[in-house]
Amino acid sequence: MSAWMSALRPSQPAASDDLDPVSLPETVARARAVLGDEPTAWAIQRSKQICDTYEASARADPTITVDGLDRVACEAALLTVLVNLRTGRADAPAPPEGFESVRRAVRQGARIETILRVVWFSHTTVQMALLEVLSREVPAERLADELRAVSEGLFEFVDGLVRELATAYDQERAAWHGRLAALRRQTMEHIVEHGTAREGSEQLLGIRLRGDHLAAVIRSVDPAPPTGWDGSVTRYVAAVSATIEAVNSLVLDQPDGSTVIWSLSAAPRDPVSAVTDRVPHPPGSIVAFGPVGRDVAGLQSSLLGARQAALVGGQHQSEGAWTYDDVGLQAVLLADPEAAGRYVRHVLKGLTDGDAKSAMLRETLWAYLRHGRSRLAAAEELHIAPNTVAYRVRQADERLERPALDDPTPMVVALSLARDFPALLG
């Protein structure tokens, strides 16, 4: 059936690069051994023309993408199908260049639909070219049989190729996403540990490292997240992006939750407050924000701050949003819970009992000191009279072994920890 193949010759004059093969040497060598030099040169030239035509179509039609286009794979496939037609082997394996093309396409984010569109475009173009040669070279009495044989051979090859490439794509995508996630986590940990970024980090993470960043840690309160929790986190990340006008965002899944990084076009005024005030946190979740930071060193600071704020949120064991600006000092102390408890009990010695009156005195003293010793401000917060504030502060001071008002900073820290984490009182 293949005598007509001797009529396959490259068009003249041909540019030198039109006839330079790009597929594997063994693929080209096998084609020359089976087909001859002229048909092999025709296939090499034709594959370049197919790619040029497809690229031209993509420039004219924005719905067409060239992400899945690969001249190496196109050339190897055309050489292989011609060899199959010559030898009559319908079960010959797909060329290895096709699988390498799939691997590259997955890393570039090309969709399988795009890759298969290129395959079918190439198939249609080659089929039309071969049918033209057949119509010219094959006698009329044999033409119908040759046309049918070539059409069936082409379809069988392409059908098998599509199935193999689709399977390879799914396998490679699953493997690559696993590797990509691991590489991204390693890249982020390098930034956290060293405050620097390795070469290629921006491309790997998919975010720019210059400019302002905001990091957050999102965890489920329950070890077994509620149904739909992943979807609610995705919607939350999108809502935050819209609120702070983020350029892009990155979500990194961790064993105990997710780390999110937003890249900002320009740092808005107090973006963390804008988020906590306007975007409800996902139900059943702990959301902890670091401070906004600039460039790689600032991203490191934001990531560390988010982790420390998450430490405080986790101690509460209830859903809510925490910010590093609000709980950063608590986070430092809670990094060593035993030392934090010892510090609280030392500073508040005499006022650590678990009864209601002791708790009331601690709450009043905390409000009084936090408002700069203003009885009026503390009274407004606690909804009591200013004289009652003064009376309770005096009672608390009498109970404490160390004066409450001489050095208020340690007292505010200890009262704040005791208020949020009563277990530290012993």
**Which structure tokens are listed for 290?**
């670091």
Question: 366-402: per-residue pLDDT in tens?
Answer: 999 988 899 999 999 999 999 999 999 999 989 988 8
Position 154: which residue type? L
| Predicted TM-score of the model (pTM) | 0.55
Residue 103 burial (C-beta neighbours within 10 Å; 0-12, 13-18, 19+): middle
Position 54: which residue type? Y
pLDDT at 66: 59
pLDDT at 407: 78
**Which structure tokens are listed for 226?**
């509620």
Q: What dotted CATH number matches 206-333?
A: 3.30.70.600
Q: How many CB atoms lie within 10 A of CB 180?
A: 16
Residue with tokens 């290629």: 200
Residue 371 near residue 381, CB atoms below 8 Å? yes
Position 329: which residue type? L
Question: Is the four-CA dihedral 41, 47, 48, 53 of positive or negative sign?
Answer: positive
pLDDT at 323: 93
Cα distances (Å, whole numbers) of residue 211 to 186, 194, 288, 374: 21, 18, 21, 41
Question: Could you tell me which of 71, 90, 117, 81 has the C-alpha nearest to residue 8?
Answer: 81
Question: Which ranges of the chain have pLDDT less than 70?
Answer: 1-2, 13-18, 62-69, 90-92, 107-109, 176, 266-268
pLDDT at 187: 93
pLDDT at 380: 92
pLDDT at 261: 95
- The residue ranges of every structural domain in the chain are 3-176, 206-333, 336-425
